[in-house]
Amino acid sequence: MISPTVFFVAIVSSMLINNVVLMRFLGVCPFLGVSKKTESALGMSLAVMFVMVISSILTYLVYHLVLEPFGIEYIFIIAFILIIASLVQLVEMAIKKFSKKLYKGLGIYLPLIVTNCAILGVAESNIRDGLASEYGFGGGLQVAIVTAFGAALGFALIMFAFSSIRERLDHANVPESWKGVPVSLVTAGIMALAFLGLGGIV
Amino acid sequence: MEPFIAIITVAVIITIYLGTYMLNKKVPAPYEKIDTETCSACTNYACGVKQQFSEER
């Protein structure tokens, strides 16, 4: 039985301290590309959350039940990318069917979730951290799910905060040469510095 | 034996991917009249809807 503290530490650590976007610099493409509007940012965060959690479960199972027993761990990146790509196809299908507005808002970034390295990064770190050897197969899976959920929540938090700031910046008196991407990158840098202050809590 | 299992594993996952891809392609993309000149839903230059409209023009 895993202590609830482990889950708490996993979720806080992956959400705030090791935030995928601002601390590990993964998933920066959708972070900058789909953060113009809060609605699109939240839609993207939900899609990423779904793909991240499900892909973490599947990749964990595939790694420990197929790749490791047969000694073919070396193909894990190919296998993980294909699993993530399949999940993205399912998500795209669901969004096409149920939310036309979100489908248009996400645009090219929806299929590009496949290349969102945050998802592959979280799946890979779950394996690299040796959760199965530390907590057992079932326990490791639970911690992997919580870690992936925390990372997705951290991604959603940053997307929401950044899109809100960008919406405000649209109406701010920004110098002409700083408008658009330059001021967005400076804002992202300041946010990353703020998150750096959370390091060492856990 | 190992390389053979690796190839089989990748082949199975590729088959699953192709299955989901085909399913996704069968679902039609939402299409409705939008004013692409004033559309602010997407600022992406590679937006598929915008490209489709520019080709129609």
Q: What is the pTM of this model?
A: 0.80
* Cα–Cα distance, A10 to B34 (Å, whole number): 45
Comparing CA positions, the residue from A21, A33, A56, A35 lying closest to residue A148 is: A56
DSSP states of A21-62 as a string? TTTS--SHHHHHHS-SSHHHHHHHHHHHHHHHHHHHHHHHHH
User: pLDDT tens-digit profile of A86-115?
Assistant: 988 988 888 888 877 778 777 767 777 877
Mutant choice from B21, B25, B31, B44 vs A, greatest count of A C-beta within 10 A: B44
Contact A42, A137 (CB under 8 A): no
Alpha-carbon distances, residue B42 vs A105, A164, B15, B27, B46 (angstroms): 5, 16, 33, 22, 10
| pLDDT value at B57 more than 80 | no
The confidence score (pLDDT) of residue A77 equals 93
Q: In chain A, pLDDT over 70 holds for what percent of residues?
A: 98
* Cα–Cα distance, A153 to A45 (Å, whole number): 8
Q: Which of A74, A87, A96 sits opposite B27 (nearest CB)?
A: A96
* Nearest CA distance, B50 vs chain A (angstrom): 10
**ipTM confidence score:** 0.74
pLDDT along chain A (202 residues), means of 10: 87 90 88 84 86 92 92 92 90 83 74 83 91 88 94 94 90 86 90 86 70
Annotated domain spans of chain A? 6-196
